[in-house]
């Protein structure tokens, strides 16, 4: 991965290059910002630039030297990948999933977490970085760099570090070996344990503009004109989301269908049907349930905006628009905030491993009451 392979972020790239060229690369660097903005791609490009044996005057890795070729095949001996996984028996380390992670990086360098969850093929798990991973990193980093000045740990989503794992790594992050660098990429840095977060140097990676997303779609997927602009607007700066929107994914269609069913059954007060709806939602697994509830919150927001006629702020697909045109009058100033509250409460309860069927049914009953306001 080279800097030139990543659209936009000129200021971030310049800052990263400056750290390396000046010899002031921090021992622990955190790239933080919204999902789908290429943070992990930037981390990969930075690692390749550090290891490159023939950097270009333009400020990029050459792409041709042995180190660059090893990076491009994910086989550089002094580069370690660390990322959230699910347990295989009692052990869980990134090396167990390296083939899947390489496929993930190949398929989408913008690193979509939902796609990673499906690749792990365990809908009920919440991927984490476990203490076994921390022990494995300590072992690997005890050895000196082999072919480069630095060993580099590329960590995706440090917010998923278990506390025991973070405590194990704390000393190494705070006082690393002279030849060790940590480069982390976070979608939600507020969830990183403070002991780790406070010991990193942070670089903020902002969301892409709609124009940048549209240009990327046009260059990589041959989509131009109004289609690219519409998709970019819906994606809200998230390139991974834009890629999924190119062809409406089964997952997104499923979430829309379940949202429509919830609202229609709640309006008709079909309690038995809502109980079944809650059971069907629980069968999706915790992570997908939480993603669905995020989708619900977005749809409530979009319908409220549609109801108050601030159409410039609306971001709906054609299918969502078709339903929302008739549904939006039911989302108003009397119930919109309370709907957000019950959705967020349900999401928090699911994340805390509550009984999903009961949580979903309770949510549905509350929706019945609020739609009548």
Q: Are residues 70 and 92 in the same domain?
A: yes
pLDDT grade, residue 92 (50/70/90)?
A: confident
CA terminus-to-terminus distance, the chain: 53
Domain count, the chain: 3
Residue 71 in tokens = 């990076």
Q: What are phi and psi of 85, to 5 degrees?
A: -135, 175
Local confidence band at 350 (pLDDT 50, 70, 90 cut-offs):
very high
Looking at the structure, do residues 119 and 148 belong to the same domain, yes or no? Answer: yes
Q: Using one digit for the tens of pLDDT, what is the confidence trace for 52-70?
A: 999 999 999 999 999 999 9
**Do 140 and 51 lie in a common domain?**
yes
Do residues 135 and 283 share a domain?
no
Q: Which of 172, 188, 204 lies at the terminal end of a domain, its last residue?
A: 204
Q: Who contacts 98 (Cβ-Cβ below 8 Å, separation ≥6)?
A: 74, 81
Residue with tokens 């076994």: 132
Q: Which of 54, 12, 62 is nearest to 37 (CA)?
A: 12
Backbone angles phi, psi at 38, to 5 degrees: 80, 25
Residues 7 and 153 in one domain: yes
Q: Residue 313 is encoded by which pair of tokens?
A: 């702020």
When mean pLDDT is compared across 144-158, 226-240, 271-285, the lowest value belongs to 226-240
- Domain region containing 113: 3-204
Residues 8, 81: one domain?
yes
* C-alpha dihedral, 279 to 350 to 366 to 361, nearest 10°: 20
Q: What is the CATH number of the domain that holds 330?
A: 1.20.120
Across the strands, what pairs with 82? 155
Residues 183 and 258 in one domain: no
Residues 254 and 284 in one domain: yes
Same domain, 229 and 258: no
What's the predicted TM-score (pTM) here?
0.71
Question: How much is the average pLDDT of 160-171?
Answer: 91
Is residue 160 over pLDDT 90?
yes
230 in the same domain as 152: no
d(CA 87, CA 329): 46
How high is the pLDDT of residue 250? 64
Q: Are residues 224 and 289 in the same domain?
A: no
312 with 213, same domain?
A: no
Beta bridge partners of 128: 85
């Amino acid at each position: 991965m080279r800097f030139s392979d990543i659209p936009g972020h000129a200021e971030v790239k310049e800052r990263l290059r400056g750290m390396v060229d000046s010899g002031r690369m921090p021992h622990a660097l955190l790239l933080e910002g919204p999902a789908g903005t290429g943070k992990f791609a930037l981390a990969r490009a930075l690692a390749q630039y550090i290891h490159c044996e023939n950097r270009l005057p333009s400020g990029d890795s050459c792409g041709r030297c042995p180190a660059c070729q090893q990076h491009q095949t994910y086989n550089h001996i002094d580069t370690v990948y660390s990322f959230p996984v699910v347990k295989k028996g009692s052990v869980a380390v990134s090396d167990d999933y390296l083939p899947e992670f390489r496929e993930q990086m190949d398929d989408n360098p913008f690193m979509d977490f939902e796609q990673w969850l499906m690749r792990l093929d365990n809908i009920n798990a919440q991927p984490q970085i476990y203490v076994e991973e921390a022990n494995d990193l300590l072992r690997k980093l005890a050895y000196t760099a082999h072919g480069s000045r630095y060993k580099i740990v590329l960590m995706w989503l440090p917010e998923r570090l278990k506390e025991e794992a973070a405590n194990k790594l704390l000393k190494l992050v705070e006082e690393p070996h002279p030849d060790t660098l940590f480069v982390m990429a976070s979608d939600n840095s507020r969830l990183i344990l403070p002991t780790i977060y406070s010991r990193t140097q942070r670089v903020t990676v902002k969301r892409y503009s709609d124009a940048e997303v549209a240009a990327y779609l046009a260059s990589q997927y041959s989509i131009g004109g109004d289609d690219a602009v519409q998709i970019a607007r819906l994606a809200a700066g998230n390139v991974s989301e834009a890629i999924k929107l190119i062809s409406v994914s089964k997952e997104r269609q499923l979430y829309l269908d379940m949202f429509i069913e919830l609202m229609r059954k709640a309006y008709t007060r079909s309690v038995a049907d809502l109980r079944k709806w809650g059971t069907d939602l629980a069968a999706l697994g915790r992570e997908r349930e939480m993603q669905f509830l995020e989708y619900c919150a977005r749809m409530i927001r979009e319908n409220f905006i549609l109801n108050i006629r601030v159409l410039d702020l609306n971001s709906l697909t054609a299918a969502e628009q078709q339903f929302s045109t008739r549904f939006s009058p039911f989302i108003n100033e009397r119930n919109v905030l309370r709907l957000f509250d019950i959705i967020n409460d349900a999401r928090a309860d699911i994340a805390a491993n509550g009984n999903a069927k009961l949580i979903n049914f309770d949510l549905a009953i509350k929706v019945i009451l609020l739609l009548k306001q």
